[in-house]
Amino acid sequence: RSSDPFSTSHFCYSHRGFSLGVAAENDNPIFDDYIFKGRGICFDQHNQYFNRKDVLQNSISQCPSACQGLGNVKAQVGFSFVGSRCYCHYSAGYGPSGDSEFGLSW
């Protein structure tokens, strides 16, 4: 779920296999592993922030490969894009390094 449904500069995508709410149609093949969830930052079902790793990127089209390149894709629940930054989201207790929150941005 996105925090600000009226935001035009924040986008939330869910990694396929994880549920962040009702899926919207995805018409961009770059995002085949992701489902557009809405405008705003992604939150979990308890309206809390996901664990995240920030990655600087020039465009939203670079987020899927940037996030997957961090590792531990099985625990990755999706990403948000804000300005020139991808926020790669992970399940609670997990991060890019595995079943540890080591290396997360928060």
For range 78-90, the mean pLDDT: 90
Q: What pLDDT digit, counting tens, does each position of 2-22 carry?
A: 444 434 568 888 887 654 443
Q: Scan for tokens 């996030």, then name that residue.
A: 67
In angstroms, the CA 9 to CA 40 distance is 8
Q: Which of 56, 42, 53 is nearest to 106 (CA)?
A: 53
Helices (H), 1-106: 63-68
Q: What pLDDT digit, counting tens, does each position of 22-76 carry?
A: 333 444 455 678 888 888 888 888 888 888 999 998 888 889 989 988 988 888 8
| pLDDT value at 86 more than 50 | yes
Q: What pLDDT is recorded for position 87?
A: 92
In this prediction the pTM is 0.75
